[in-house]
Amino acid sequence: MAWVLLIAAGLLEIVGVIGIKRVSEQNNWTNNLILIGGFIASFSLLVRAIESVPLATAYAVWTGIGSVGAAVVGMMFFKESKTPVRLFCIMGVIGCVIGLRLVE
């Protein structure tokens, strides 16, 4: 169950990052709610997950999901670069997160 919470926390971190981008484009209550709500929910689930998952692993997985998710959202919705080197680096982050899960 802790891993489900950790993955959900990572996905909610992506919501928070989307909120940051939206607030940077238009600062209103809706965008601030997305930003604050996403991060509060994400941190809350991360705290619960760390009760069972080792701290370093949990933090690396959480930030990995958030980093990869933010990069993918940026490429899909905000016209950010999709160069092969960038995609390779994203795959490297995913590989490292999977590696941490396997060695736990």
Q: Within 13 A of 58's CA, how many CA atoms are on the CB side?
A: 20
Q: Per residue in 21-51, pLDDT tens? A: 999 999 999 999 999 999 999 999 999 999 9
What is the average pLDDT across 61-87? 95
The pLDDT of residue 98 is 87
Count of H helices and E strands in the chain? 4, 0
Rounded CA-CA distance 86/74 in Å is: 12
CB 90 within 8 A of CB 68: yes
For the CA atoms of 44, 7, 74, 97, the dihedral, rounded to the nearest 10 degrees, stands at 120
CB 38 within 8 A of CB 13: yes
Rounded CA-CA distance 15/21 in Å is: 10
